[in-house]
Structure 1
Amino acid sequence: MGRTERRHGLSKALLGLPQAFSNLPDHARQKLAESATVRTFARNEVVIPPGQLSPPVVALRSGLLVLSFTGDVEGGIASDFVRPLDVFSGSTRLRIFSSGTLSAVSASAAVLWPVEAFREALLSSADFAVWYLDGLERRLAHHYLHRARVVHLSGEAQYAYFLWAMSEPTTDGRRLMKVKIPQQLVASYLGVGREEVSRRKTLLEKTGHISQTSAGLELMDSIVHLFSLEDAGSRMPGELPFVTGLDA
């Protein structure tokens, strides 16, 4: 099970969060820090269950979370992923019930706030509110574009695109997918069978596009050519080249 720890004071409660939290006025930062709960979650542990009234706002420090909904697929249908520095909120309105399940894909660390406290922080600073809303808009736009792109790709290109979106660049110029995502979860997100995900992964390994290392799954530069968006005519309306678009 995960661990809960109350943090009082700015230096610890807001540690590892986006700079916008540190830019809040002193009184707003203090109140937000005092209302924060720092949590660690074990793999597969539920962060927010379905039907929870006024679910908390979650800022992820490390690890990976998944938002899923009940369906015929074992473990539910994966809808979206929450990555480090993402701020997740089902709603900033009061007395709203959560509709899906937010759970940890890997061991994760996060800061949680009551929705009332986070609303107060948004109201206390126009800059903070603009940052939050702008980030939410970008996140939704990237999510919709990614889902649309996945639909228009097929086979190995679809799986390669997913891996690239879930990976991150390293300081030595490589690109790694550090968190091992269960194949069943990937399958439900892509809308294919688990066996198909296994087949696609094996093919990408055999063709040298990906390689399993001690640090995680390494993606080679060649994998980009499987879903290249350099040809403007192949892009979705309003879509930027993938390498710069979703990494912004």
Structure 2
Amino acid sequence: MVLAGLFFVGMTATVKLVGAGVPAAQSAFLRFALGLPFAVPMLWPLWRRGLSAGEARLFAARGAVHTLGVLLWFFAMTRIPLAEVTAMNYLNPIYVTLGACLFLGERWEARRLIAVAAALLGALVILRPGLRAVEPGHVAMLGASLFLAAGYLVAKRLSGQVPAAVVVGMLSATVTLGLLPFAWAVWVPVGPVEIGWFFATACFATGGHYAMTRAFAIAPAGATQPATFLQLLWSVLLGAAAFGEPVDAWVIAGGAIIMAAVSFISWREAVARRMMAAEG
């Protein structure tokens, strides 16, 4: 999980590095298009078995919401500091927890409500509305977290129907297609240096998702979640060293509150599953 965090921070940093000179939609498209070579082999089981109509609708829905989330995330990346993007990205699991109760029929447990409330408090600490200006990048990041969380909920539904590799591969394919018209509308010429950086972004993203998947396979979620807080520390250090961004103690505090909420809910869910297994 530590390695996954390093990969994800590297991905975010490369996007920020070239983001100022390339429109957000084009940056997002190039990142996913250059990652397709990693995704195509994952689709082999799908080519052999085919897709049902219901699965096709779910893949299309996930591609649509993830496309919107990615567009907003890339926009935010060029507008607000690296640490703020990382800290607000921690809201994704909280939105997933909330959405699972609202749309997937999971129970409203007190522990979930406490975690959601704590995470929202952390977001307010980061944004501090009324005490400073809330930038368009902050609003975009809140929207990105919502759309990406919706995509994760659809992925959860798909994970019981098709292999995990197919879910990942189809995400890359559908989001690349979804981003194409947005990128085409704002396309600017890019050189081999920019292409190289976007390919590095795709490599970082693929490596991060693989390392995270391996972590989830060999350790309980509650044990791996605290390690993700290191992403925020690395983002603060990298933002200050590479981009001259000031170190904001409020962002660190808000991120810590959100991460504590995520770790708490992950640990309590793991305990609840063990108790149910023991009773069964």
Band the TM-score falls in, shorter-chain normalisation: 0.3 to 0.5
Report 1 or 2 for greater relative contact order, CA contacts < 8 Å, sequence distance ≥ 6.
Answer: 2
Structure with the largest fraction of strand: 1
Structure with the largest fraction of helix: 2
Q: Provide TM-score, normalisation by structure 2.
A: 0.32
